[in-house]
Amino acid sequence: MTPLSDKLSNIHHYGIDIDNREIFLHSYVAECEEEPGVDYRSAVAFEKNIRYLNSISSEPIIVHMHMPGGYWSDCLGMFDSVTLSKSPIGFIVYSKAESASGVLLQSAKLRILMPNTYMLIHYGSLSVDSEHMAAVSNMKWNESESQKMIDIFVERCIKSPMVKEKKWKRPIVKKHIISQLSSKSDWILSAEEAVYYGFADGVYGHGIYKNIEAIKRKLK
């Protein structure tokens, strides 16, 4: 077993509890007021931690996420690390799952929200180059990536309690999600609403997700 002092150092400095196979995912801690969210620093540390735990065994990994949105490309790098992991990965989300972090959540095998956590889904922002051809290229890329985001949410929503209740087919589900994003600048859902839409699997402390041990058993 890792000595307590080393264990605390790993948790606070590297975001990993090796013995319990838990990762703590949050913004890079720096002396500034603004929280950077998903960026290359949080992404690289996360990818290293996933890789390291996978090298030890294929037992489940729990990710404790407390993070706002951020950079789309870094989000997708983390997304791939989760979906390609040989160890099943479950997320427990604190406070919020906004924008990029809400998309990242969809990569997990099991997605649990703390009772007071909310989700915020929206289209990302785009900075357009002043040079015409570069601006056109950026707009086309942004549109294709927006469709990618929608497809990620559709894939999860298609198995949701809402879709089972309404008996919707995939085209209707996609149309509904697009309409929500088009009519709201920020589509905000409570923890229970996120579960209803299939964007999360449960609320921590409710039903079979009463504690971390129960969540780890569900991942196996």
pLDDT score at 57: 97
pLDDT score at 125: 64
pLDDT-flagged residues of the chain (< 70): 1, 30-33, 125-130
CATH superfamily ID and name for 4-125+185-219: 2-enoyl-CoA Hydratase; Chain A, domain 1 (3.90.226.10)
Task: Give the contacts of 10 (CB within 8 A, at least 6 positions apart).
Answer: 2, 16, 17, 18
Q: Do 48 and 23 meet the contact criterion of CB atoms below 8 Å apart?
A: no
Question: Shortest CA distance to 176 belongs to which of 153, 192, 195, 199?
Answer: 153
- Write the pLDDT tens digit of every residue in 106-154: 999 999 999 999 999 999 765 556 677 777 787 888 889 999 999 999 9
Q: Do 77 and 66 meet the contact criterion of CB atoms below 8 Å apart?
A: no
Instruction: Indicate the domain borders of the chain.
Output: 4-125+185-219
Residue length of the chain:
220
At 198, list the tokens. Answer: 């299939």
What CA–CA distance (Å, rounded) separates 150 from 181? 9
Q: Do 186 and 120 meet the contact criterion of CB atoms below 8 Å apart?
A: yes
pLDDT score at 142: 81
Q: Do 82 and 104 meet the contact criterion of CB atoms below 8 Å apart?
A: yes
pLDDT score at 128: 58
pLDDT score at 126: 56
pTM for the whole thing? Answer: 0.91
At 110, list the tokens. Answer: 């099991």
Question: Shortest CA distance to 187 belongs to which of 122, 123, 103?
Answer: 122
